[in-house]
Amino acid sequence: MMKKSANTGKWPAAVFLAVLTALWELSVRSGWVDAYTLPAPSSVIRVLFSELPGLRSHIWITLQEAGIGFLAAIGFSIALALLMDFVPMVKKGLYPILVLSQTVPIIVLAPLFGMWFGFGMLPKIVIVMLVCFFPIIVSLLDGLEAADPDELHLIEGMGAGQLQQFRWVKFPGALVNLFSGIRIAATYSIMGAVIGEWLGGTGGLGVYMLRVRHSFALDKMFAAILIVVVLSIAVFKGIDLIQRMLMPWAVSKEK
């Protein structure tokens, strides 16, 4: 029953998207909107399939940058969260700086990374790390702070040290928060890689988008945007699947 209602809840969004796409197609075909300013969805799909063989190398480059940066952000976030949880003074000193760092637009920092690290893959990986790092560590820290004090007192009375408390109580309890941050960061990873490619590079979806924009091929531009959307959704769903495999108790609790 719960599964049926969950599937039913997806229909309104699907219907709305289908209606919106149909109106878009109709407005272009009827001449209300010029095709050279807003290509029809059918034209975008047709160009996507024709350009896909040449886009594979760009997709692979973007996925590499996003994947390496995303995994590095997860590892760094967990390590830093552990340090901040073990040493409260470190948390008091670093947490305001982490919040302050999010006020600086990544589009401003990206050219600096290009000058410091060159125009290869490294600056794009750094950008993805910065984009993904904040939601992961903030979610994890919130989860660690929400640990049940009664459980902590119980395991402490049984002789558990700070590391054992983290391993058996705090971290398992914070896994839901951790995956929530990871899912948010996953959708940002592809976007971060594309932003880095916009500001300098030899390959990737961002470089391809710049090239087709300069030639005013908006149908190819929309095709690249569609690929970015599909990749972001795929990564998000992949993380959700991993969470369901690693945390079946959380899924049963939702049901």
- For the chain, what percentages of helix, strand and coil (3-state, to nearest 5) are there? 85, 0, 15
Q: pLDDT digits over 18-75, tens only?
A: 888 888 888 888 878 777 778 888 888 998 888 888 889 999 999 999 999 999 999 9
Tokens linked to 170:
């705090």
Q: Taking residues 85-112, what's their average pLDDT? A: 82
Checking if the pLDDT of 3 tops 50, the result is: no
Render pLDDT for 184-227 as a digit per residue (tens, 0 to 9).
Answer: 999 889 998 998 888 777 788 988 998 888 788 888 889 999 99
E strand map for the chain: none
Distance, in Å, from the CA atom of 232 to the CA atom of 107, rounded to the nearest integer, reads 19
CA dihedral 173, 174, 177, 182 (to 10 degrees): -130
Plot region of 31 (φ>0 → left; ψ -120 to 50 → alpha; else → beta): left
Model confidence, pTM: 0.82
Alpha carbon distances (Å) from 167 to 157, 158, 174: 16, 14, 11
The predicted structure's pLDDT at residue 50 = 87
Q: What is the mean pLDDT of residues 230-251?
A: 85
